Amino acid sequence: MTQDELKQAVARAAIQYVVAGQIVGVGTGSTANFFIDELAKIKDKIPGAVASSEATAARLRSHGIKVLDLNEVTSMPVYIDGADEIDASGAMIKGGGAALTREKIVASVAEKFVCIADGSKLVNVLGKFPLPIEVIPMAQAVVARQLSLLGGEPKLRMKDGKPLLTDNGNVILDVHELEITNPVAMEAVMNNIVGVVTVGLFAKQGANVCLLGMADGVKTLT
């Protein structure tokens, strides 16, 4: 099976976690896009969705799925999203698609985080994938210095020769060379750096369920 077929398989499997009559939180990225395509098939069963990025909102709308503002929503049973890395405890690195801040916000409102990923995303120790951190642009240099003191090598994410700007107008520092043996502690330390908006470590609130696409089928980690 190709990586895309594995992503499609977990996207299909995730539909069983959508609760009829309830709003669903939707993540960002290629796996989340496959999920949106599956969600479209049952769109009449849900009142709408909350999107974690402008790209996701556009894809949901293109399928005729109502997109709700998070400010109108007080609870949702489930948030479904991909990950760049996940460990056996459900801690994740996210933000490869630069949507980490809105992803963390929407996930914080959901009762359950269902992670959907192809099997290559499961790791023993987080950190091989550079850790994305969303930063206020004027704080980029000072935050980078602080991150270096933690042993990482921060690199400003670029696009078309310019710093990539998130949906929130901020920049992303991707931190290389980290071995994250205690993700909960690392998330707390990095969250405390002035100028950091969001750390792409989802450890304090990690995934409750992970659907992993493997060659021999979808495995469920809880």
Q: Which residues make up the interface to ligand 5RP (CB under 6 A)?
A: 27-31, 81-84, 94-100, 103
Pairing of strands 162-163, 158-159: antiparallel
> Do the annotations mark residue 97 as ligand-binding?
yes
Starting at the edge strand found earlier in the chain, the sheet holding 209-214 runs 49-51, 24-26, 76-81, 110-118, 209-214, 217-221
Minimum distance from residue 82 beta carbon to ligand 5RP (Å): 3
Residue number, 84 or 147, with CB nearest to ligand 5RP: 84
For residue 29, say whether it is annotated as part of any ligand binding site. Answer: yes
103 assigned to active site: yes
Residue found under tokens 């995303």: 121
Q: Shortest distance, CB of residue 21 to ligand 5RP, whole angstroms?
A: 26
The residue (of 120 and 148) whose beta carbon lies closer to ligand 5RP is 120
Q: Nearer Cβ to ligand 5RP, position 85 or 186?
A: 85
Q: What is the end-to-end Cα distance of the chain in Å, rounded?
A: 24
Q: Does 9 show up as a binding residue in the annotation?
A: no
Shortest Cβ 121–ligand 5RP spacing (Å): 7
- What letter represents residue 209's amino acid? V
5, 54, 85, 103: which is the annotated catalytic residue?
103
Closer residue to ligand 5RP, CB minimum distance, 97 or 195 = 97
Least spacing, CB of residue 129 vs ligand 5RP, in Å: 9
Catalytically active residues are 103
Binding site residues for substrate, as ranges? 28-31, 81-84, 94-97, 121
For the annotated binding site, the residues are: 28-31, 81-84, 94-97, 121
